[in-house]
Amino acid sequence: MKLIFATNSPRRKKLLKEFNIDVEFVSHLFDEDSADKDIDPIFYCKQMADKKTSSLTHKYPDSPIVSADTIVVSPDNKIFEKPKDKEEAFKMLYSLSGRTHSVLTGIDLKFIHQKINFNFVERTLVKFNKLEQSEIQYYIENYSPYDKSGSYGIQDFSSIFVESIEGCYFNVVGLPLSSLFFHLKKYKIVQFA
């Protein structure tokens, strides 16, 4: 059975390509800039994932569709998505310095033909070391934080910012693999036997 994954994320594509599943990556049709960020972060990322999946159900009614939305939630409970510029990236990283924040990924699964409409949120806690301003500036200048929620990618140079994590590492990369596959197997969308 072919799984439709509504994503433009190169990291999510790379993670899923490690598995021997029939998956097609498709751009969702939801305008992410239209979303209201002044709501509960868990509800926000669930809603974002739902809207991404819903934007494709008319096109793929006979296929299971999955989408994901990852956000960073600051210690002050502010939603950090992708930074718009250097200044915003710096502010995000500086506010995370020496503190613990949450990474939330909302996963949405819809399969109209099978009447499946399910979503969940995975949370990982990430504690940053105390960062020097020069380290933050070096990272922003030499790596591309503009397509990463919270302005960092745990799998690149900014891994040295991380003192510890509690929860799923792959969730911080952008896709909680263990939880995702648990549900895909439960709904018999993927099988490895």
Please, what is the angle between helix 133-142 and helix 86-96, to 10°? 140
Separation between Cα atoms, residue 67 and residue 54, nearest integer Å: 9
Annotation marks residue 69 as catalytic:
yes
Separation between Cα atoms, residue 109 and residue 102, nearest integer Å: 23
One-letter amino acid for residue 61 of the chain: P
What is the phi/psi pair of residue 156, to 5°?
A: -115, -155
What is the phi/psi pair of residue 169, to 5°?
A: -60, -45
The one catalytic residue in 31, 50, 62, 69 is: 69
Which residues neighbour 171 within 8 Å (Cβ) at sequence distance 6 or greater? 70, 103, 105, 122, 123, 124, 179
Distance of CA 65 to the CA centre of its chain: 16
User: Which residues does the annotation mark as catalytic?
Assistant: 69
